[in-house]
Amino acid sequence: MIELAPYNPYTLIISSPVIAAAGSLGDVVGIARWLGLQRADADHGLGAIVSSTVTRSGRRGQPQLIATPAGVLYHHGGFSLGVQQVREQLAPRWATYHVPVLVSLAGTDTATVAAELSEVPGVAGFELALPATSALEAEQQVARVRRVTLLPLIVRLPGELNDPVAVAQACVTAGADAIALIGGLPACMPHPEGGLIYGRLGGPAIFPVALRMVASVAAAVQLPVIGMGGVATEAHAQAMVQAGARAVALASALVSDLRRGRVIAESLRDQAIS
């Protein structure tokens, strides 16, 4: 068992050090039966799941995954789940799962969404995705969410920060329970019909960048660190743990193969035994 919110009264204890990163399993409900989330003995390897981004009203859109020579470009297409959808349709189902589901927050209404979902059964906590920002701005954004909820709060940092250690320390000061990094790198690709598609680059190409940042932050903060960004193999996950991560999050690896969670979880278990 791994505690990702050791100083939070609600706690966030996960049975596996592998987490499904934000949006990798969509609204979670659509894939629940395949993974067996309602069974205590299911062998999916996941310790927690982070939902797609939730905004107050929700937005229609079509997320895209675009293959590039260096990995996968994710373009959100403006899509997000809505608070009412989560409260009335999704969270009641999440409450029946044997894996905690956290709500992904991003954008300008993060505190409002957190306040409206903080006491909804099935919502185990929140992951706040920060943009590239200064330490002061990060502290202010985390503090706004922390003021409206006592639930576990993971803060996810992007890969383009100039000083990730300073930003992580500011998030800790503001009340974060854990730090996750990195949330990809900004990138773009040519659109087939002309112009450019902007998004965030994931996949193995960004792993060396992510590993360095995880090692730096894990050495500087006392809270649990979740390593992510290009984690695709057992060796990647083991390196993240050796660098100081308490858990790893899978994004593109899980999207391409839902069995990767189990495989990587088993490798980390074997590493701990040895």
Query: Over the stretch 223-273, which tens digit does the pLDDT of each residue have?
Result: 999 999 999 999 999 999 999 999 999 998 888 888 889 999 988 886 654
> From CA 234, how far away is CA 102, in angstroms rounded?
24
68 lies in some domain: no
34-38, 114-118, 215-219, 252-256: range with lowest mean pLDDT: 252-256
71 lies in some domain: no
252 lies in some domain: yes
The dihedral over CA atoms of 128, 91, 152, 268, expressed in degrees to the nearest 10, equals -90
Structural domain containing residue 98: 2-61+79-186+202-273
Scan for tokens 């290009």, then name that residue. Answer: 230
197 lies in some domain: no
> Residue 219: which CATH number?
3.20.20.70
If one counts the domains in the chain, the total is 1
Average pLDDT, the chain: 92
250 lies in some domain: yes
CA distances from 260 to 171, 245, 255, 266 (A): 30, 18, 9, 10
What is the model's pTM? 0.93
265 lies in some domain: yes
> From CA 262, how far away is CA 78, in angstroms rounded?
31
- Tell me the β-bridge partners of 104: 53, 127
Residue 30, judged by CB atoms within 10 A of its CB (0-12, 13-18, 19+), counts as exposed
Please choose, from the candidates 67, 58, 139, the residue with its C-alpha nearest in 3D space to the C-alpha of residue 104: 58
23 lies in some domain: yes
